[in-house]
Amino acid sequence: QEKGKKPYTYERLVPTVPQGAVVVIPKYQEKWILLEQFRHAMRDYQTAFPRGYGELDKSGNCLAGAVNACKEICEELGVDEAMVGKPRYLGDVVADSGVCGNKVAVYMVEVKEYKVQVGYEGIQNVRLMSDEEFVAAMKEKEINDGFTLAAWSLYRANVGEE
């Protein structure tokens, strides 16, 4: 509160688990895996990379980001942990700092296989996209998920030019 200013209310969202939220960029045979998933807040479907809230382990501690990234991929793509490579950390994003200050870690992983988990957490389909197809989908406004767009930007900044 600034000195001499009238107090005002401000709404914000505070996550129940303060850290460990992730966005995961999965790669399968040189293509990106994206989910077509129903998003309740928008009441519509989005094409996006898998993601998940921070979670607690059995001891009540926050799961490390890399552990949560692997867990999310296994759940949302229906694979065993042995089918997922080591997650590579790319950086953090904040989806909407006007409402929520939660930092979300972005990871990239290689996936050896996957299954379409229709119905699991609103998943309708899985789409595989090359770099060119991903860029075309952004241009055609097929991809408008802020986490996915931010994760792609971090990927391009960290890995895309290697």
For 137-152, the pLDDT digits (tens) are 999 999 999 999 999 9
pTM > 0.75: yes
Please tell me the predicted confidence (pLDDT) of residue 160: 63
Contacts of 39 (CB under 8 A, 6+ apart): 45, 46, 122
pLDDT-derived band of residue 162, with 50, 70 and 90 as boundaries?
A: low
Quick one: CA dihedral 41, 25, 142, 118, positive or negative?
negative
The secondary structure of 119-130 as a DSSP string is: TGGGEEEEEEE-
99 C-beta neighbours (distance < 10 Å), count: 12
Task: Considering only CA atoms, give the Rg of the chain.
Answer: 17
Query: Is the pLDDT score of 1 beyond 60?
Result: no
Binning pLDDT at 50, 70 and 90, where does residue 130 land? very high
